[in-house]
């Protein structure tokens, strides 16, 4: 593993993520009405912060030699073993991401929304944690840290997504609680948020 290969792996991971998400994005736009929306300015800013940290900055870093030169001051000594671990973590993130999309089905939204006929999903990976898709994004951020060994670009994903998560998760749970009442309370009592049995 070399820094160049690690950058290629990161780009392949992003491509894989798009291949999983884009079909859901298209399907969900068709005949799938939104009944409750909390997609306010705060949500838009948070989505942008997360997109920058997990996507725009690291993709630009992998594609642009001049950006890599500008950020060379923050390069860390490259460890092939650490980068190889990053490959495994990214693969795990994508597998989990695929499972969450399959299991959420038409209930999925990019932002805080409830759809017509929304159901509470508690099966599959949703038995393990309440927010497995967010777990998958944290794993992506971790993979980015391990693959792109630069102290500006590496942690940007965890910081960007961490910000979205911190401000969103409580609101999302309140919205789900308002919609599903006692069923959601029982679900909360049985599960943790993003790490099984821990948090
Ligand atoms: N937080 C979840 C879902 C992310 S997508 C996860 O990490 O896996 C965000 C949308 O999913 C929210 O707007 C909400 O409408 C919906 N949602 C969240 N948890 C859900 C659940 N258990 N069942 C059905 N829909 C859910």
CA of 124 to the centre of ligand 1 (A): 13
Burial 29-67 (b: 16+ CB within 10 A, else e): eeeeeeeeeeeeeebeebeebbebbbbebbeebbeeeee
SS3 151: coil
The whole model's pTM is what? Answer: 0.97
- Ligand 1 atom at minimum distance from 187 CA: 22
Give the closest residue (by CA) to ligand 1 atom 16: 108
Mutate-to-test residue for ligand 1 from 98, 112, 126, 172, highest number of ligand atoms within 8 A of CB = 172
Given the structure tokens 């399907």, which residue do they identify?
A: 27
pLDDT of residue 161: 98
CA of 56 to the centre of ligand 1 (A): 24
Does residue 34 surpass a pLDDT of 90? no
- Ligand 1 atom at minimum distance from 113 CA: 13
Question: Which of 14, 1, 116, 124 is CA-nearest to residue 62?
Answer: 14
pLDDT of residue 30: 76
Catalogue all structural domains in the chain, each as residue range(s) with its CATH number. 3-28+39-190 (1.20.120.1630)
Does residue 32 surpass a pLDDT of 90? no
Cα 129 to Cα 48: distance, rounded to the nearest angstrom: 25
Average pLDDT, the chain: 96
Share of residues in the chain with pLDDT > 90 (%):
87
Count Cα atoms within 13 angstroms, Cβ side, for 51: 9
pLDDT of residue 38: 85
Note the pLDDT tens digit of each residue in 76-108. Answer: 999 999 999 999 999 999 999 999 999 999 999
Q: Residue 33: which pLDDT band, with cuts at 50, 70 and 90? A: confident
Token duo for residue 156: 């940007």
Note the pLDDT tens digit of each residue in 121-134. Answer: 999 999 999 999 99
Question: Which of 112, 129, 123 is CA-nearest to residue 176?
Answer: 112
């Amino acid at each position: 593993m070399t820094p160049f290969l690690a950058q290629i792996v990161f780009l392949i991971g992003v491509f894989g993520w798009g291949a999983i998400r884009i079909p859901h994005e298209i399907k969900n736009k068709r005949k799938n009405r939104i009944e409750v929306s909390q997609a306010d300015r705060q949500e838009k800013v948070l989505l942008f912060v997360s997109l920058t940290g997990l996507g725009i900055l690291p993709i630009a870093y992998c594609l642009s030699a001049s950006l890599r030169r500008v950020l060379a001051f923050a390069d860390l000594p490259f460890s092939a073993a650490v980068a190889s671990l990053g490959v495994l973590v990214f693969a795990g993130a994508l597998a989990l991401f695929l499972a969450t999309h399959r299991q959420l089905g038409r209930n999925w939204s990019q932002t805080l929304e409830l759809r017509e006929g929304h159901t509470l999903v508690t099966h599959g990976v949703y038995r393990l944690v309440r927010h497995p898709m967010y777990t998958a994004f944290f794993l992506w951020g971790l993979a980015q840290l391990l693959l792109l060994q630069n102290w500006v670009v590496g942690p940007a994903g965890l910081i960007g997504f961490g910000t979205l998560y911190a401000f969103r998760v409580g609101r999302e749970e309140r919205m789900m609680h308002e919609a599903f009442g006692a069923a959601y309370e029982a679900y909360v009592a049985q599960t943790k948020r993003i790490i099984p049995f821990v948090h």
